[in-house]
Amino acid sequence: RDLPRYRLGSDLSFRSRKLFLEAEYIDVMYEEGLEAYELDKTFYYGTMGWYFSEQLLVYGTYWDIHQNEVIILDTGQLRLYNYREIVQVASAGFSYNLNDRIALKGQYGYVDIQLEIPPAPELSNILDRFDYQVFTCAVSIIF
């Protein structure tokens, strides 16, 4: 997007012997030429982890995005609709170092997506909320 915008953010990082905390907040404010449409976005996340040993790390994360978007429909006449999207994700995972070169990793995540859509007949077939779960695993190898 080529619209003028302002971005405000902050972050936090804390580490102790076995505990770590990380967090970030970002707010993006657009100077729209169309006052009827809102395009601002907000994002934040927080992660907390615990090293049970040099080999095993367990962590949890939560992140949240609120963003305003515009749907453009051309049904013979161009129409613009402003809507808000909210994405929230909670996850937990682990990393286990088998040795200096190989790590096993796993993560579970729950994703919830909500759309605040204006009441309009043209938009009635759009899902306004859905959620899903994600399970991932990986092997990291350093060559």
Residues 81-113 pLDDT 10s:
778 889 999 999 999 999 999 999 999 999 999
pLDDT, residue 76, reads 78
Residue 1 clears pLDDT 70, i.e. is over it: no
pLDDT, residue 86, reads 92
Distance (Å, whole) CA 64 – CA 79: 29
Per-state percent for the chain, helix, strand, coil, to nearest 5:
0, 70, 25
Residue type (1 letter), 14: F
Quote the tokens at residue 141: 């190898």
- In this prediction the pTM is 0.78
Listed in sequence order, the DSSP H helices in 40-125 are: none
pLDDT, residue 35, reads 62
Quote the tokens at residue 71: 């749907």
CB atoms within 10 A of CB 93: 19
Mean pLDDT of 57-65: 97
pLDDT, residue 32, reads 66
Quote the tokens at residue 5: 């915008």
Mean pLDDT of 68-76: 77
Quote the tokens at residue 38: 């809102």
Hey, where are the domains in the chain?
A: 5-141
- Over its C-alpha atoms, the chain yields an Rg (Å, rounded) of 20
Whose tokens are 């915008």? That residue is 5
Average pLDDT over the chain reads: 88
pLDDT, tens digit, for every residue of 122-143? 677 677 788 999 999 999 999 9
